[in-house]
Amino acid sequence: MTGETSTSPETAGDAAVAPRTVLFDFDGVLFQGDSFRVFITERYARAPLRKLLACANLPWMLLVWPLSWRTVVRSLVHIGLLGVGERRYTAEAQAFAAALVRRPRQFYRDGLQALRRHQAAGDRVIVVTGCERTVARGILDQLGLDGLELLASEFKPGPFGMRVKFHNVGRRKLERLTAHGVREWQLAYSDSLADIPMLKGAGEAVLVNGTPKVCKRLEKVLGRSVTRVEWF
């Protein structure tokens, strides 16, 4: 198992002729936490009626949770966006992003610096995240990363509000990368074992703020060592 190396991942390929393709997860790598969860939680906090509706569905959610917790989470998201059309959703996501970037200690400074160093080195940098695209795009734009490539989850308008169209997690990140024309990548940064498919395809896998236990599990699955970094 490797620790932090004297040659950082973002500078290791400076001598390469062709630019590298570098993938960054967002939550837990650039943002300290789950950005979309913060967005939905704040919507619930501003709307007591949504809380009551969620509570009314609690018995059903408790029954479904052991079978499919993702179904429960998706239902909570749908309740949180009940009656919200595409235009309103976009406006609220942008307002949330603008407020979020002004709060202290929301982002990993080291992660953002690493990303910018990759850009400065001429690497192709792509953020591949489970966060919803409008929210993630708004946050990146507010951070001054408006030209950055982004592959994210997507919503679609429905008769009762915005609904999940594509949840960009796990192996679905590979589907989105393939559809985007990305066949290989030299580096991938993540904090989560959920990104094993993405990390497995990287020439170098970088685990951000991972515990030794998580690192050991990841190395066992990948069959090779990974680079660990501690970001603040």
**pLDDT tens string 154-196:** 999 999 999 999 999 999 999 999 999 999 999 999 999 999 9
The per-residue DSSP string of 69-119 comes to HHHHHHHHHHHHTBT--HHHHHHHHHHHHHHHTTSTT-B-HHHHHHHHHHH
> How far apart, in whole angstroms, are the C-alpha atoms of residue 131 and residue 114?
20
What pLDDT, on a 0 to 100 scale, did the predictor assign at position 144? 97
pTM: 0.91
Note the pLDDT tens digit of each residue in 30-61: 999 999 999 999 999 999 999 999 999 999 99
> How far apart, in whole angstroms, are the C-alpha atoms of residue 221 and residue 134?
33
Indicate the average pLDDT of the chain: 94
Note the pLDDT tens digit of each residue in 87-113: 999 999 999 999 999 999 999 999 999
Confidence check: pLDDT of 133 > 90: yes
